[in-house]
Chain A
Amino acid sequence: MTVRAPVPVLPRAHGHPVPWRPMARATWLQHRGGLIGVLMLFSTCALAIVVERLTAPSYARSLGVGSVNNPSFTFLAHVVQLFPVVIGVFVGAPLISRELESGTFRFTWTQEVGRTRFVVTTLVVLAGFTVVSACGLGALLGWCAHGFEVVGIQSQWQPGLFDVTPVTLAGWALFALVLGTFLGAVIGRSVAAMAATAFSVGGLVVASNLDLVHRLLAIAPLVTSRVPPLSMAIGTLNSTSFAGGELSGSWLVRGWVTGTGGRELNGLAAYDVMDHVQSAAVRGVTDPTRWLSLHHYALWMSYQPAGRFWIFQVVAAAILVFLAALLALATVRLVRRRA
């Protein structure tokens, strides 16, 4: 064997950093299977929404004001609410956990692009895909919901529907993607990360339906005004107003009745007043407004006006995007420190 003398390695000119377009192409090559699966789910949902919209108006009008919700639309809205869960479980959770589990991080993280730029680019590309598809799905569902909203059957204020507009659905999908990625980086096992993501994102979606949306809608001061007696309810409402009324499109939070001197009536007395007004109105013997005025009663409602809907939407999405950004930073930090 011949021994070679050590040869100095001359420093060479640095090449240009890998541009983002090739990195995006690498991301597509690596994740196209999962993304095509998500696109197929997206297409199926979109098709179902279009069919629902085309068949819905006649159904909605046949029900009339105050009727029950359209069950097929409600089901569709619930399915669309699961879109973020699907993104988190099937796109986010395996993103890093599969690399760690299969050992391919030893290939990817030692390429010229470097682990930080690789993870950031991958997240950005997948986030772009997620946001665009979620916006599309949310817009389609909003288009479908319009047919119901005009006749007062459904309202986008309602928990469930509040989370599936283009704005909030995109926020939820982005949050789910990054939460799944973060959990995958922490857990390092695909199946466990997918289960944890399904549990956590699914749990948060349910919590949002049950409670979080109500809490969000309570953060801004409510508008309080005297309202006409019809279409009035008392107590804690957290519901939408009927279409066509004075508060049409608003989110009703609480209704109450005041008597002489502006004193609020207790529940029993208030119900007596409401019963009288409604039975009189049904019989058509008395003008309810006049009757109330004569007896020094007034009906009051506190609510979020319809004009605030998109402000709340942006606030909800901003909270989700902020959380997603924090999780993304934590994920990058985890990846950088992984040794």
Chain B
Amino acid sequence: MNVVETSGLAKRYRSTWALRDCTLAVPAGRIVALVGPNGAGKTTLLHCAVGLCTATNGNITVLGDLAPGSLDALERVAFVAQDVPLYKYLSVRSMVAVARNLNSRFDQAQAEERLRALEIPPDRKVGKLSGGQQAQLALTLSLARDPDLLVLDEPLARLDPLARHDFMALVMAAVAASGFSVIFSSHVVSELERFADYLIVLARGRVQMLGDIDDLLAGHAMLSGPVEESDLVGEQFAVVQTRKAARHAELLVRTTGNSELPSGWESDHVSLEELVLAYLRDPSASMLPGPLTPDELEVSEVT
């Protein structure tokens, strides 16, 4: 089962297309990083997944075949929006009470326990909490709903490194305990590898790359060698990015076959950050494994 599946999804705001022909499938049980530059359509895609916006064209389903925003989907999908929009004039205790009263399966004891562990005072107004505490509170409220899918829109954007670490630690601990799926969008590419095991890169409203992070890294290499042979080497591989100096060239390529390198050329592993940045620098480059078929899903589960 895919926790999010889209087919030709498109969303237009007046004359601007935020998403175009977006087709993807996110398998269950993953921590998915959604990456892309500003205006790539990340927030729009997440809003479509949680029912906050409706598609102009195409289809989107969550948790199998549920329509986003339907009562069945809302019961099982929790969302922490960008900038953590909570009622700033309420106390933390009242905010918890509001969330409890809007959700039938809200685990108040769990929420209060987490807030105690995070040392967030229950009587303090939400607006008086630090940015990190507000983010932790929003996450706590979402986790207390016992979701099957947790959607986080730029959760780390406003946080300092320590708060980022604490936030993601809370997410990872909850995932380890409950096994739900997570999709989070982020600009902080350097930290993705520590948390995510699945990657979606969006650019200009389209899916540019998606797949298992380990598979993506294994499927790419950084080749380096004499600049005069770079064109010849480039013909043997699908080149994502080329960097040429006076005597030396670096090619980020997809390694699909057993092509041998000419002498004088070296192959090196590519980091996730290098890979993502390379694709983002060249929006025309794309790598789309596409959604897993049921057979592929079965194989993955067995292995």
Q: Which A residues are closer than 8 A to B by beta carbons?
A: 1-9, 11-12, 14-18, 22-23, 25-26, 29-30, 33, 102-115, 118, 337, 339
Contact flag A111-B81 (CB < 8 Å), given A5-B303, A104-B86: no
Question: Is the CB–CB distance between A106 and B79 below 8 Å?
Answer: yes
23 residue pairs from A and B, CB less than 8 Å apart: A1-B193, A1-B194, A5-B300, A5-B301, A6-B292, A7-B179, A7-B301, A8-B301, A9-B3, A9-B29, A11-B64, A14-B72, A29-B97, A102-B85, A102-B88, A103-B81, A105-B52, A106-B79, A107-B138, A110-B52, A110-B77, A111-B74, A113-B74
B contact residues around A12 at 8 Å (CB) = 76, 148
**Complexed CA–CA distance, A7 and B103 (Å):** 26
Question: Is the CB–CB distance between A33 and B89 below 8 Å?
Answer: yes
Question: Is the CB–CB distance between B214 and A3 below 8 Å?
Answer: yes
Contact flag A17-B89 (CB < 8 Å), given A6-B28, A110-B50: no
**Complexed CA–CA distance, A18 and B145 (Å):** 13
B contact residues around A339 at 8 Å (CB) = 52-54
Contact flag A26-B104 (CB < 8 Å), given A9-B64, A112-B71: no
**Complexed CA–CA distance, A104 and B1 (Å):** 31
A contact residues around B79 at 8 Å (CB) = 106, 110
**Complexed CA–CA distance, A113 and B54 (Å):** 18
A contact residues around B71 at 8 Å (CB) = 17, 112, 114
Contact of B86 among A3, A107, A109 (CB under 8 A): A107
> Quick check: is B118 within 8 A (CB to CB) of the other chain?
no
Question: Is the CB–CB distance between B102 and A15 below 8 Å?
Answer: no
Contact of A1 among B75, B97, B213, B300 (CB under 8 A): B213
Question: Is the CB–CB distance between A112 and B103 below 8 Å?
Answer: yes
A contact residues around B87 at 8 Å (CB) = 30, 104, 107
Q: Which B residues are closer than 8 A to A by beta carbons?
A: 1, 3, 27-30, 47, 50-54, 63-64, 69, 71-72, 74-79, 81, 83, 85-90, 94, 97-105, 138, 145, 148-149, 179, 181, 193-194, 197, 212-215, 292, 297, 300-303
Question: Is the CB–CB distance between B85 and A104 below 8 Å?
Answer: yes
Question: Is the CB–CB distance between B197 and A7 below 8 Å?
Answer: no
Measured CB to CB, the closest approach of chain A to B176, in angstroms, equals 11
Question: Is the CB–CB distance between A9 and B1 below 8 Å?
Answer: yes
B contact residues around A2 at 8 Å (CB) = 197
Measured CB to CB, the closest approach of chain A to B254, in angstroms, equals 19
**Complexed CA–CA distance, A111 and B78 (Å):** 7
A contact residues around B90 at 8 Å (CB) = 29-30
Q: Which 5 A-B pairs have the closest CB atoms?
A: A7-B29, A6-B27, A103-B85, A106-B81, A22-B101
Contact of B29 among A1, A4, A17, A25 (CB under 8 A): A4
**Complexed CA–CA distance, A112 and B74 (Å):** 5
A21 nearest in chain B by CB position: B101
**Complexed CA–CA distance, A104 and B52 (Å):** 12
Contact flag A6-B101 (CB < 8 Å), given A103-B81, A103-B83, A112-B145: no
Contact flag A5-B85 (CB < 8 Å), given A15-B105, A18-B102, A26-B98: no
A contact residues around B52 at 8 Å (CB) = 105-106, 109-110, 339
Measured CB to CB, the closest approach of chain A to B202, in angstroms, equals 19
A10 nearest in chain B by CB position: B1
The listed residue with most A CB atoms (<10 A of its CB), out of B27, B83, B102, B215, is: B102
Question: Is the CB–CB distance between A9 and B30 below 8 Å?
Answer: no
Question: Is the CB–CB distance between A26 and B303 below 8 Å?
Answer: no
Question: Is the CB–CB distance between A112 and B102 below 8 Å?
Answer: yes
Contact of B104 among A112, A115, A118, A337 (CB under 8 A): A112
**Complexed CA–CA distance, A18 and B47 (Å):** 23
B75 nearest in chain A by CB position: A112
**Complexed CA–CA distance, A22 and B181 (Å):** 28
A15 nearest in chain B by CB position: B104
**Complexed CA–CA distance, A17 and B102 (Å):** 10
A contact residues around B303 at 8 Å (CB) = 5
B contact residues around A14 at 8 Å (CB) = 72, 75
A99 nearest in chain B by CB position: B85
**Complexed CA–CA distance, A111 and B138 (Å):** 12
A contact residues around B100 at 8 Å (CB) = 22
Question: Is the CB–CB distance between B94 and A29 below 8 Å?
Answer: yes
Measured CB to CB, the closest approach of chain B to A17, in angstroms, equals 7
**Complexed CA–CA distance, A282 and B74 (Å):** 81
A contact residues around B27 at 8 Å (CB) = 6
Measured CB to CB, the closest approach of chain B to A140, in angstroms, equals 32
Q: Apart from A6-B301, A26-B97, A104-B87, what are 11 other A-B pairs with CB-CB below 8 Å?
A: A1-B194, A1-B197, A6-B28, A9-B1, A25-B97, A29-B90, A30-B87, A105-B52, A110-B78, A112-B75, A113-B103
